[in-house]
A = this chain, B = another copy of it.
Amino acid sequence: MSLLVVGSVAFDCLESPYGKVERAVGGAATYFAVAASFFAPVHLVAIVGDDFSKEDAAVFKGRPIDIEGLERTTGKTFFWSGRYSQNLNERVTLATELNCFAEFKPRLPEKYRNSKYVFLANIAPDLQRDVLHQVKVKPKIAAMDTMNYWIERTNAELRETLKHVDILMINDTETRELSSEHNLLLAAKHIFKMGPSTLVVKRGEYGAMMVDKHGIFCVPAFPLEEPHDPTGAGDSFAGGFMGYLASVGSKSDAFLRRAMVYGSVLGSFAVEQFGLDRLLQLKKPEIHGRARHFRKLTQFKL
């Protein structure tokens, strides 16, 4: 079943101890779409400027990613520039130029309006809600991301949007800020009262944790000797997670656990090289191979 993603498509300037890329196609929706497309057809809604060339759009080509919803406008594409510290565990944002993204009003093409799986990447909560309104029938799973900026500045709007989603996927700092609870279990209980029935906490090098009515499920991050660039890891995780669920058409506990693993698999590949490079070369057997590796990493018998 096809999967709708709404979010940013951007140019990134990335710098880490492993090198520098001046102008890489990035953005949350891009990472999500490429990662999810290994599992299910993706419908992309985003906006780019007239500096976004055919060559740039090639990242979506040859994959089941429909870009009818990729709006093209005059002006420049969203630009982000960041530098990572020696150990990749700290990031300095050097520039955020919203450009045409500041005027983004997501409009779903007619054929996107039946989407059963929806992912609202990190954009303004009122736009996220507007996207949900454009979907005709209540999706089987609506999931969303957000960030400290929206938690702090548009909290009421965010609360309103949260009422309409099933899964919230955020990092641990955001979880604590949104719930005003340090303990992640207490935070989850708080967040369930806001609407979502499942909380997925992304914890970077420590992996991810899912909390829902079935209980808690933890998956570690895949240990890598030389991660090169953490950009897009969380969005690739979300893409693997939602792509897998859309491919199986179920949200039972066993499938949600597997979705956590496939999310972690895609996130782990994303950080191996700069920007989208690794995901663009990735082959399906590698995904399944790493999922089995995750099993080796975590499984035990009593």
Contacts and interface: CB of A to CB of B under 8 A. Distances in A.
B292 A302 contact: yes
A176 to B, nearest CB: 9
Interface string A287-301: 010011001111111
A18 interface: no
A183 B302 contact: no
Interface string A206-248: 1101000001111110011110000000000000000000000
A290 to B, nearest CB: 11
A41 B48 CA distance: 68
B302 A218 contact: no
Contacts of A291: 302
A95 to B, nearest CB: 27
A182 B216 CA distance: 29
21 contacts: A86-B182, A183-B225, A185-B224, A206-B206, A207-B218, A207-B220, A209-B223, A216-B297, A217-B297, A218-B297, A219-B298, A219-B300, A254-B300, A254-B301, A257-B299, A257-B300, A258-B300, A258-B301, A261-B300, A292-B302, A299-B299
A84 to B, nearest CB: 12
Nearest to A254: B301
Among A209, A260, A298, find the residue whose CB has the most chain B CB atoms closer than 10 A.
Answer: A298
Contacts of A216: 223, 297
A291 B301 CA distance: 10
B87 A223 contact: no
Nearest to A295: B302
Given A257-B300, A261-B302, 13 more contacts: A86-B182, A183-B226, A185-B225, A207-B218, A216-B223, A216-B297, A217-B300, A218-B223, A218-B298, A219-B298, A220-B220, A257-B301, A292-B302
Contacts of A260: 300
Contacts of A220: 207, 209, 218, 220
Task: Say whether chain A's binding surface is mostly helix, strand, loop, or mixed.
Answer: mixed
A184 interface: yes
A186 interface: yes
Interface in A76-95: 86-87
Contacts of A295: 300, 302
Interface in A243-272: 254, 257-258, 260-261
A164 interface: no
Interface in A175-219: 182-186, 203, 206-207, 209, 215-219
A215 B293 CA distance: 10
A217 B300 CA distance: 9
